[in-house]
């Protein structure tokens, strides 16, 4: 016969196993529509943001997902390089550890959400593609036309 504590341990282990595959999610987005405005150097810029969801064991030990700054920079810059971007500038990083979410379970398995944003110079082809995507938006709202890039 199982005691109540045995059932609690079993439930926590089952929950940890169920959450483990979800612990390595990543979401990417890139802002390309700047209404013709340029970056500080007078050239078009794109802003790439990546959000990572991970799981820590014992609040501080990474268990699943790329949630350290080094891993986030590596992953995000690899993605920008694949899009032929150059002249990177790190804009923002953010890390949230939700150890306080559902104690004592979240003291053992803490969800972690991190974000990183880069500003980068896109290729001429990427700028042309973004300008082509802007054209229908300008046609939909003639009161606020999008200037050419």
Q: How many residues does the chain have?
A: 149
Q: Identify any residues that bridge with 95 across adjacent strands, giving them in sequence order.
A: 114
Interatomic CA distance for residues 116 and 106, integer angstroms: 24
Question: Of 118, 121, 117, whose CA–CA distance to 41 is shortest?
Answer: 121
The pair of structure tokens assigned to 49 is: 């943001």
Task: Return per-residue pLDDT of the chain as tens, 149 residues.
Answer: 467 766 766 766 666 666 655 557 778 888 887 777 778 778 888 888 888 888 888 888 888 777 788 888 888 888 888 877 778 888 888 888 888 887 888 888 888 888 889 888 888 888 888 878 776 665 555 555 555 55
pLDDT (0 to 100) of residue 142: 56
pLDDT (0 to 100) of residue 17: 62
The pair of structure tokens assigned to 88 is: 């990177």
Interatomic CA distance for residues 58 and 99, integer angstroms: 9
pLDDT (0 to 100) of residue 133: 76
CA angle 88, 90, 96 (to 5 degrees): 145
pLDDT (0 to 100) of residue 81: 82
> Are the beta carbons of 34 and 45 closer than 8 angstroms?
yes
pLDDT (0 to 100) of residue 89: 83
Could you tell me the residue ranges of all domains in the chain? 23-138
Interatomic CA distance for residues 88 and 41, integer angstroms: 12
């Amino acid at each position: 016969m199982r005691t109540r504590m045995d059932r609690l341990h079993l439930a926590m282990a089952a929950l940890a196993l169920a959450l483990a595959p979800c612990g390595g999610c990543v979401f990417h987005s890139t802002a390309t529509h700047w209404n013709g405005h340029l970056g500080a150097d007078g050239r078009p810029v794109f802003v790439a943001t990546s959000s990572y969801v991970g799981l820590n064991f014992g609040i501080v030990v990474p268990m699943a997902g790329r949630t350290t700054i080094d891993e986030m920079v590596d992953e995000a810059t690899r993605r920008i390089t694949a899009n032929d971007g150059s002249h990177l500038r790190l804009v923002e990083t953010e890390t949230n550890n939700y150890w306080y979410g559902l104690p004592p379970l979240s003291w053992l398995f803490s969800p972690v959400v991190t974000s990183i944003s880069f500003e980068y110079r896109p290729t001429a082809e990427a700028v042309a593609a973004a300008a082509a995507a802007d054209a229908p938006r300008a046609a939909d709202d003639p009161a606020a036309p999008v200037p050419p890039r």
